[in-house]
Amino acid sequence: MDIHVLGIAGSLRKDSYNRALLMAASTLLPEGMTLEIADIREIPLYDGDVEAQGVPEPVYALKNRIQNADALLIVTPEYNYSIPGVLKNAIDWFSREPDPPLNGKPAAIMGASIGMFGTARSQYHLRQVGVATNMLILNTPQVFITMAKDKFDTQGVLIHEKSRNAVRDLLSSLKAWTLRLKNEHR
């Protein structure tokens, strides 16, 4: 059974290490897994008054892509010890009724930073958000790419082999996790 994963980067910056990490994941997939990359740039700020008039098209379209994916791969930077506002905003939209697509969705998270913590704090906060939205986030392995400027080349290619192996392990574990959850719900 093939597993279709939707990848989301929590950074809007074109040359973001986290966007580069998501691109790296697309080259490190295990057999039987595909990765479609989504962009949250067009998601407007959440506003209940706007929602009452109808879900904006970019939100509606991405909610459908999440619904149709077997699993999510969320790659988050760390801003002020937490997840970026644009990522939290998108998650807030995707958690709304009816039929929030994050509910019961298998997911994995990873991140890259130029510092020594490799997005550990933001990933912890994202895990807390995952509890509220009922995302089924894979616990291990955890991927924290530290000192990212030394692990990517000038074109944004992940060249650090230990990091590449960590991403491979995460993706293989996400595949197994997703299959396990699908089999439990049959």
The predicted structure's pLDDT at residue 186: 65
Q: For residue 119, give the CATH number of its domain.
A: 3.40.50.360
Express each pLDDT in 126-147 by its tens digit: 999 999 999 999 999 999 999 9
Number of domains in the chain: 1
Contact (Cβ atoms closer than 8 angstroms) between residue 44 and residue 59: yes
Helix H, strand E, coil C: the string for 8-55 is: EECCCCCCCHHHHHHHHHHCCCCCCEEEEEECCCCCCCCCHHHHHCCC
pTM higher than the cut 0.85: yes
**Residue range of the domain that includes 45:** 3-184
Express each pLDDT in 47-84 by its tens digit: 999 999 999 999 999 999 999 999 999 999 999 999 99
